[in-house]
Amino acid sequence: MNPSALFIRRPVATTLLMLAIFLAGLLGYHFLPISALPQVDYPTITVETFYPGAGPDVMETSITAPLETQFGQMPGLDQMTSRSSGGASVITLRFDLSMSMDVAEQEVQAAINQANSLLPTDLPAPPVYAKVNPADTPVLTLGISSSTIPLPEVEDYVDTRLAQKISQISGVGLVTLSGGNRKAIRVQVNIPKLTSYGIDLDTLRTTIGNVNVNSPTGTFDGAHRAATLRVDGQITNTDMLLNQVIAYQNSGPVRIRDVAQVIIGAENTQLAAWSNLTPALIMNVQRQPGANVISVVDNIKATLPALRQTLPPGIDIVPLTDRTTTIRASVADVQFELFLALVLVVAVIFVFLRNIPATIIPSLSVPLSIIGTLAIMYLLDFSLDNLSLMALTIATGFVVDDAIVMIENISRYIEAGDDRMTAALKGAGEIGFTIISLTISLIAVLIPLLFMSDVVGRLFHEFALTLATTIVISAIVSLTLVPMMCARILSEREHDTEASGMFARWSAQMEVATEKLIAAYDRMLDVVLVHRGLTLLVAAGTLC
């Protein structure tokens, strides 16, 4: 059985098949996302609970411990870590890699609902959770500062205008602000004055909570008209809060201005961020899973000039880190190495074969095998990253073997006197099974990487599958395109145009050196075959 015979006799169909593989690879290359490493989704969820004013011990006993009790009952939970600090509790949940992120999210939400009855009733907000991928670092970090506007006001503008617009850009997954400059009204109490009026801190706290409300008031219903009452109880400036009455004494009402100062400042003065040496807000932008990191960052940078115009003058936006800088450099370097490997492979083939038609055939089959792999990578949701490109670079040495074996076997029959068509049919028929077995053996070497578990296995799964795909496509090309081209353009070496000058002399010297090397190998092989026992003993000693 000769699997190559049909393709040798149908050159047009074979050419169209190879052209289809080539075009599919180019389309795949256009749509493949670019990243530093393969996209690996770690089922990790963080649960954050904020309880302003509570110390770390209170957070641990009243917030973190009840939540941990509920989370510990979830199936598929591999690891749970928590951190309790002043006013904040952060619990990180890492699930089994085989568990879907959506299922893990549902489990976490159900556990939070069950724990609500165990949490303090005066929590300002229930626990919130977010899906996190520890391997997906921010693709762009912006430093936002101002020399004329206070940072709490800057955060208001950034949070309501800039962050929301960036979140709407295609490919952007998560936008976070850090720096702890959320706007808040701070009440600084003069304790001696408050005590002199006979008022305690709890009364002052209750008063402030009661006056800053926004709740329904009621309605007036008449025979012909109904009206809804609205009382604006929100504190919008410091004067409104300063004028609030705490209590009544003999001398009259006691207002907040009599016992405290009210200022507008940051919600948490213990948190801060700097852009170089300037106090600033830090905006981290993460991409969506599978999005092209280069396109995401380019789109953000293209939109930033228009977004700057929506902010007040005096707000400066400076890119601090750009992950695409290293990604572009590393991907470009690997692409250059891949191109260099192709050039060197073709050059080595020409040096040893010294036959232009025999050099053209692998020069087409090797890049075709690599380009065709890009289409399969797109179908498998892979990306152009350091590992997949490294697999393509390594594959350059593998894929050329099939073409060389096929060319050499067909050339042997041509040199024996057969015409090109007959030699191609004979040579391809003999070597076809060898190429198939060689392909299977190379893929078998990759089985440990293909089925490796845990995080490392997920990282190298794309590498192994890309390399295996390239090897398979190389075998297909070697069984179809290579024998077809050998039947059309391969010729005997003595019929080629003889080179002249220095290259001719160097070629003759290379021929003599190669023949001497082959002769020396023959003599060494004879010695090894004569002393088979000693050879097996040395081999056994090497294994031990």
C-alpha 63/C-alpha 57 separation (Å) is 10
Domain boundaries along the sequence of the chain: 5-37+327-499, 41-134, 184-266, 500-544
* pLDDT bucket at 274, cuts 50 / 70 / 90: confident
Distance, CA of 436 to chain centre: 35
Residue 80 · residue 71 · CB < 8 Å: yes
Residue pair 282/143 in contact (Cβ under 8 Å)? The answer is yes
pLDDT of the residue at 393? 83
For 243-298, the three-class secondary structure string (H helix, E strand, C coil) is: CCEEEEECCEEEEHHHHEEEEEEECCCCCCCEECCEECEEEEEEECCCCCHHHHHH
Question: d(Cα 249, Cα 252) in Å, to the nearest integer?
Answer: 5
Q: What is the pLDDT of residue 14?
A: 92
Res. 91: pLDDT tops 60? yes
* CATH of the structural domain 184-266, one choice from 3.20.190.10, 3.30.2090.10, 3.90.226.10, 3.90.320.10: 3.30.2090.10
Element (H, E) at 142: strand 140-146
Q: Does domain 41-134 have CATH number 3.30.70.1430?
A: yes
Quote the DSSP letter at residue 119.
S
% of the chain beyond a pLDDT of 90 = 11
pLDDT digits (tens, 9 = 90+) for 282-311: 898 888 766 778 888 889 999 998 888 888
| Res 373 pLDDT > 90 | yes
3-state secondary structure of 126: coil
> What 3-state class would DSSP assign to 228?
strand
Query: Which H/E stretch holds residue 16?
Result: helix 11-31
> For the residues 78-103, what does the mean pLDDT come to?
86
Question: 275, 297, 299: which is closest to 144 by C-alpha?
Answer: 275
In the structure encoding, which two tokens stand for residue 270, read together? 């213990």
Helix (H) or strand (E) holding 495, with range, is none
Tell me what pLDDT residue 268 has: 72
Q: Which pLDDT belongs to residue 494?
A: 44
- pLDDT at residue number 496: 46
Lowest mean pLDDT: which of 25-34, 44-53, 288-297, 399-408? 288-297
Closest CA to 495 of 427, 409, 411, 425: 411
Nearest to 274 by CA among 151, 174, 165, 137: 151
Range 5-37+327-499 has CATH code 2.40.70.10:
no
Q: What average pLDDT does range 185-205 have in this prediction?
A: 84
Q: What does the block give as tokens for 203? A: 């009364």
In the numeric block, the tokens 């490997």 are attached to 341
Return the exposure string of 157-188: e unless at least 16 CB atoms fall within 10 Å of the residue's CB, then b.
bbbeebbebbeebebbbbbebebbbbbebebe
Which residues, other chains included, contact 184 with Cβ-Cβ below 8 Å and sequence gap of 6+?
152, 264, 265, 266, 267
